[in-house]
Each structure stands twice: as C-alpha cells, then as structure tokens.
Amino acid sequence: MQFVAASKLRRAQESTLAARPYSELLDEIIADLAAVLDSDEHALLNRREEGKRLIVLVTSDRGLAGPLNTNAIRFVSKEIVEHPGELELVSVGRKGRDAMRRARVPIIAHFAGFGDRPTVDDILPLARLITDEYEGGTYNQIDIVFTRFVSTLVQRADMVQLLPIKASPDTEQGASGARLGGVPGSQFIFEPAPEIVLDELLPRYVGTRLYQTALESTASFFSSQMVAMKNATENADELIEDLTLSYNKARQAHITSELIEIASGAQAR
C-alpha cells in the first residue's frame, strides 16, 4: 500500500501544483472585483446578516491515512464549538459524514469522495448546490474545511471562506475613489455588461475553488497514506524482530531444559 500510494501521490501532487497558479490568480481577480462592485451586481456578492452558516467538510471515503481525517474533523468540531449559531453541513467523503452524524450536526447533503483523479465534472453537482442555496438566501456564509497539501510530510487542516467573496484589502481601501457615479472601477472594463460577465465568472470561481480543494485533499490523502503505511511497515518489521528474538530465546531454553533432563537421566543410571 505504501508503494501504491507513492505512485498515485506523484500524479496527484503534479495536478495540485499545476492548478494552483490559475486558482490563485482567479481569487485575486474576484477579490478585486468584489471591492469595486456593489453587492446588488450579483447574488453571489451579497453580504447578509441574516441566515444560517454552511460548512463544506471534505474528507476521504477510505481510512489507513494516519491522522488526516481526524485532524479535519477536529478542526471543524472546534470551529463549530467556538462559533455557535445556526449551522448546517455538507459532507464530502464517508469519514467526515460518519463523524458529524455521531456529533448530531445537521447534514443537508452528502457527496462521495472524488476518487483518485478528481475532475471538474465531479465538482459540478456540489458547486451547483452551493450557488443555488446561496443565491436563494438560505445561507449568509459558506466555508470549506479541507486538508491543504504543504509537502509530502506536512498536510494541514484549513478553512476557506467561499461565499460571500472577500474583497482584496488593498483594493477595498481605494474602492470608493475608484468608482465613478456608481459605475464599476475604471481599472475594469466590462464587455458586454457587468452582470453578463459576472454570470459567467462567479460560478466558475466557485467551481474552481472546489476543484482546487479536491486536488489538495487528494494529494494530502496519498501523502498521509504513504507515510502511515511506511510507519506501519517499519513497526511491523520491529515487531517481527522482537517476536523472533523471543521465539529463539524460548526455543533455546526449551532445548537446554531437554539436554539437562537427558544428562540427569544418564547420570542416574
């Protein structure tokens, strides 16, 4: 299992690192747009005070991956305890669903894990659910809890706010001066119109965020599984050595006892 995880890790790691520049640049563009556009330009830009919070918890369907799933579950549990309020959850992966069910956290939807090779098509049902619920006004905030891939030996549970879209701090400070008569900032030119561009761009942003999350989680799973299986193999080898030594000692003691009995019997004659 260690060698299988290592072979899958390389492909998952390459996919994750290759997708990061696109995802990060799209985040920057959307954050800049959010700073200079009014919330009524698009439903996904709305910031609401009323409504419930939704957390998307991403774990794996399978175990044997060390503390990977446990860390993500502890992270979201701590978040729920420290920020009480109306909250619902969407689970991705069987491990997270089972843990949240035991904790009696309300789960509105469950999706199976994205497998060894996540694709954009795998993400679309989840992205559609999130955008429809937020546009409908059901939730005032949607967060994603997942495991971020840092390196082969380090995977860190993390949370990212998906909706409402956070404005870039640098752009937000100068947003009021950049707007002219209620028109989006002069640094952006919309063709054919802002609402048409946002209708295409913002759903793509949600899908890209979720896709990057799936890639990060997959790479983290194989990294953690490879390390866990390596440790398990080393522990098994040490246990075999200890048991072999104990067996040899017991065998030697038994042989010695038999030789003593034979010698004692010979002397008695």
Q: Which distant-in-sequence residues (6+ apart) come within 8 Å of 9 by Cβ? A: 152, 219, 222, 223, 226
For the segment 129-181, what is each residue's pLDDT rounded down to a tens digit? Answer: 998 888 888 888 899 999 999 888 888 999 988 888 776 555 444 444 343 34
Number of domains the chain contains: 1
Q: In what order do the strands lie in the sheet with 52-58?
A: 107-111, 87-92, 52-58, 139-149, 155-163
Exposure string of 188-208, with b = 16+ CB inside 10 Å and e = fewer, is eeeeeebeebbeebbbebbbb
- Those residues with Cβ within 8 angstroms of residue 122's Cβ, 6 or more apart along the chain or in another chain: 114, 115, 214
The CA distance from 155 to 226, in Å, is 12
pLDDT level of residue 186 (50, 70, 90 thresholds): very low
How far is the C-alpha of 232 from the C-alpha of 107, rounded, in Å?
34
Residue 201: per-residue pLDDT: 81
Residue 49 phi/psi, 5-degree rounding, is -90, -35
Instruction: Tell me: pLDDT of 39 over 80.
Output: no
What would the pLDDT profile of 235-259 be if each residue is shown by its tens digit?
998 999 999 999 999 999 888 888 8
Q: Does a structural domain hold residue 245?
A: no
Residue 120 identity (one-letter amino acid): V
- Taking residues 78-82, report their average pLDDT: 90
Which pLDDT value is given to residue 183? 43
Is residue 94 within 8 A of residue 61, CB to CB? The reply is yes
Q: How confident is the model at residue 210 (pLDDT cuts 50, 70, 90)?
A: very high
Angle between helices 194-268 and 68-82 (to 10 degrees): 130
The arithmetic mean of pLDDT across residues 201-223, rounded, is: 89
Between 16 and 197, the more confident residue is 16
pTM of the model: 0.78
Q: Which domain holds residue 194?
A: 2-226
Q: Which of 158, 143, 144, 58 is nearest to 99 (CA)?
A: 58
pLDDT at 89: 92
Query: How high is the pLDDT of residue 177?
Result: 39
For residue 18, pLDDT beyond 80:
yes
- Whether residue 231 lies inside any domain: the answer is no
Write down the pLDDT at residue 187: 59
- Please check whether residue 48 lies inside any domain of the structure: yes
Could you tell me if residue 27 is inside a domain? Answer: yes
| pLDDT on residue 234 | 87
Domain of 45, CATH number, reads 3.40.1380.10
